[in-house]
Chain A
Amino acid sequence: MHRPSAQEFLLKVLGALEDLPPDFARRFAEVLKKADVDRSQAIRQLFEDFAGD
């Protein structure tokens, strides 16, 4: 049985979502690639960045 990685799984989920901001999935994938960061904080920041002004 193929065990998908967290990134594969996330991209599958994001790929099925409509109306996501452009480039959101790519930026999210970049966050997951970063080492030595507080991932939940980086994700929170990502959501804020895409919330716009």
Chain B
Amino acid sequence: MHAFRGVPAELTVDFGKGESLAVYGDNGTGKSTIADALEWYFTGEIELLSHEGRQHAVRYVGDDDSRVTSVEVFTSGTLGGKVVFPDERDAEAFQAVRRETFLLRGRTLADFINKTKTEKWKALVEILGLDAIENLREDLQRARNELRKESKAAEEQVQSYRRALASAGEAVTHETVLANIQEICRMLGVDSPQSLDQVTDPSWLTAAVGASMAASEPSERESLLSEGRTLNAPALETSTLEGWNALVSSERAQLLPRASLVREAKRLFETRSIGGHCPLCGQAVDEGQLARRIESSLVEMMEGSRELERYRDPIARAANDLIAARDKRLSLHDRARAIALELPPVPSLPRTDLQASVDSLAPVDIKAITGFLSELRKWDRAAAKVAQAAAPSGPSTRDTQLVMLAALCQQVKSWRLAEHKAARALRAVNLADTVFDAYQTNQKEDLAALLKQMSRRVAQIYARLHPDEDLAAVSIEPWTAKGVELAIEFHGSRQRPPHGVLSESHLNSLAIALFLAMAEEFNEQLGFLLLDDVINSFDVEHRGRLAELLADGFSDWQVIVLTHDQQFFEHLSRRAPSWRKLELTSWSHASGPRTTEYETSGILAAARDRLENGDVQGAAAKARRALEELLQEICEALWAPLAFRRGQANDKREIGELFKGVRRTLKERAKAVLESVEPLLKNLEADVGATLNVEVHGSRRRSGSSEVEAALKRIETLDQRWSCRACRTRVWHRGSPEAGRCKCGQTSFPPVPVG
């Protein structure tokens, strides 16, 4: 990891090839950074930092913002890779391991146990991969509930129609409704329907009820009364009559009867000469003068005739209107009498016939005519009053009954449609119920089987942690539809949940058992388990049992245990000798976690990289660092008697002190070894003072690449003296400082003298 959490530059953790690893370190030495790196890599977040305002702490919090934060994981499969901050992976990137269980932390150890039943259910659903199945169950339930609502509404609609159709407490059935309608039809003289289908058939309704309605079209009386209410006297312009009278009384009109004589005279003058004598009286006349008089008279007559024509047509129409109006009223009078309704006598027409006056060019009696019209209007009002008084207040009883029958048929139709809709809705609900119930039952059964299987394994693991206690039958049990709860047999009584009877350490054991069982049952991709400070509440005995369980029961897994507990670390060291060990000794803001793991080869490799890339001074600095690391490691392994230093000062000893420590210890315990390595140590001391003295380089001279290369070789030689050629581990990997051996056991301490 680079610039990640508490690591300012780089920290490499070698997990080996699937080997388990125990990491020991005091509080604050950076153990959890290892867990954080794996959590971030495999889940995209660090749960502790998932709260608002904490995400930035994924990066190393230092003064150099240019550092790139990254975590690189090497795996045997396809899940390895490198993640750089900010992490831009989407949910799809975590799909493969989303449901895998791999990390258990002390501070969240009992989280699952302390969840509510529903929260436990949700967590399990997620882990077990049942979320998609549960989502579909919820959709099924929503669909079914909606159908139920629709069905209920449809049934209520049916009931409301039934209530409307009910009569005298009689149960509303198809038969009773049909019988009622048939009875009504018989009473109204309408053809009775044979079935409710016929009742709701529009053609039957039209044929039966419609025909009957048509037969009772407005009666003669109603028609007569209606006509009586809408009478209007003809309109007549008295100015027209006055104009006519003025015209026919004028001189021009007096001439009109002579018009034919004048026309004849004109024709005579136009065809032959009269010889200076009038052809009628024989008197001598001036032919020219006579012709002009004839022409003048004829023009005047023609004008008078045109004016008469202008009045003649309106007056002729008025004459006809008066006659028609009287005839209409006479007719009404006679029809009324026929139905025993008495109307007033119809006024007589004026004595002077209007049409006759027109024909004879005589003046009309305007007063008589307007008087007649006035009498007509009086008669109309009187007739309207009679009609009003005689008119019925509404339609006939029969018509009302027919209308009610039609409405009843419509209601029956609506009722039957509602019944049809309700029946269909009920069928849909029944189908939904069948599918939903079966789905839910299967889901419950599958879950119960799954929980039973898990419970068995949890109980086994729990029993290994607490073998002598009468606590058994740990199980995870379904709780109603959407909940699960833990249960335990406590001295013969079933406790669900077990919180009331279990101590904190027992609850933590339960959480560990659950974690391990779930990983065993459901992990398909991840083959490692990471337990970060999970034994805080355990006593020595239970720590030993957990160490034994992890070492023996999970030997097929790559287990990574982080602990600040020396005893637990030692338990693991004894009971899982094949596990790798890593100790974190201190942490500083500038350099991050320090480990006791052999790091010299890694630093030497970095020095060689720099040398090959032409960075000679960088290579020298790395080489010096590698030598310091190696000497520290040797001093620690040999229990070299160095001057006492407090805390982290041990990690900052002068390199000269380390040389002294190595020499002094070897002199006491392995003199031959010292003699064989003394020349090498002297040369290395010289390197430290010159070639690897990077502070001197700036002021005096720079090292050449060949000098750094030689120093590197000498460091590598010293490194090899303390390593097993077979397993590459330190020779004090096991055993004591006086009689150590490497991991594979082929190389023992003290190292074999060279030569």
Contacts and interface: CB of A to CB of B under 8 A. Distances in A.
Contacts of B140: 40, 43
Contact of B129 (A3, A16, A21, A44): A3
Contact of B522 (A1, A5, A6, A43): A1
Contacts of A39: 136, 139
A1 to B, nearest CB: 6
A25 to B, nearest CB: 10
Interface in B448-465: 450
Interface string B523-550: 0100000000000000000000000000
A53 interface: yes
B434 to A, nearest CB: 7
Interface string B127-147: 011101101101110111011
B424 A3 contact: no
A50 B424 CA distance: 9
B438 A13 contact: yes
Interface in A7-51: 9-10, 12-14, 16-17, 20-21, 32, 39-41, 43-44, 47-48, 50-51
Nearest to A9: B133
A3 B439 contact: no
B56 interface: no
A42 B193 CA distance: 43
Given A13-B438, A40-B142, A41-B143, A48 B133 contact: no
Q: Tell me if A's interface is mostly helix, strand, loop or mixed.
A: helix
B143 to A, nearest CB: 4
A12 B432 CA distance: 16
B99 to A, nearest CB: 7
A47 B129 CA distance: 27
Q: Most chain-A CB neighbours within 10 Å: which of B133, B143, B438?
A: B143
Contacts of B443: 9
B438 A51 contact: no
A52 B521 contact: no
B143 A50 contact: no
Given A17-B434, A52-B427, A44 B146 contact: yes
B437 to A, nearest CB: 10
B440 to A, nearest CB: 9
A40 B142 CA distance: 6
Contacts of B521: 1
Contacts of A43: 139-140, 143
B424 A52 contact: yes
A48 B435 CA distance: 13
B442 interface: yes
A32 B446 CA distance: 21
B143 A44 contact: yes
Given A3-B128, A5-B132, A51 B428 contact: yes
B16 to A, nearest CB: 28
B134 to A, nearest CB: 9
Contacts of A1: 450, 521-522, 524
Chain A, interface size category, equals 20 to 34
Contacts of B187: none
Contacts of B446: 9
A6 B425 contact: no
Contact of A48 (B99, B139, B428, B442): B428
Contacts of B99: 3
B278 interface: no
Interface in B91-142: 99, 128-130, 132-133, 135-136, 138-140, 142
The listed residue with most B CB atoms (<10 A of its CB), out of A4, A17, A32, A43, is A43
B424 A53 contact: yes
Contacts of A3: 99, 128-130, 522
B431 interface: yes
Contacts of A52: 424, 427
Interface centre among A41, A50, A51 (most CB of B within 10 A): A51
B431 A50 contact: yes
Interface string B689-704: 0000000000000000
Contacts of B428: 47-48, 50-51
B136 A13 contact: no
A13 B435 contact: yes
Given A16-B438, A17-B434, A51 B135 contact: no
A49 B438 CA distance: 20
A9 B442 contact: yes
Contacts of B522: 1, 3
A1 B99 CA distance: 12
B106 to A, nearest CB: 28
Given A3-B128, A41-B143, A48-B147, A10 B431 contact: no
A51 B425 contact: yes
Contact of A6 (B136, B427, B434): B136
B442 A47 contact: no
B422 to A, nearest CB: 11
Nearest to B429: A47
Interface string B396-411: 0000000000000000
15 contacts: A3-B128, A4-B133, A5-B132, A9-B443, A9-B446, A10-B439, A12-B442, A16-B442, A20-B431, A40-B139, A41-B143, A43-B143, A51-B424, A51-B431, A52-B424
Given A13-B438, A48-B147, 17 more contacts: A1-B524, A5-B133, A6-B136, A9-B133, A10-B439, A12-B442, A13-B442, A14-B438, A20-B431, A44-B146, A44-B147, A47-B147, A47-B432, A47-B435, A48-B424, A50-B428, A50-B431
Interface of A: 1, 3-6, 9-10, 12-14, 16-17, 20-21, 32, 39-41, 43-44, 47-48, 50-53
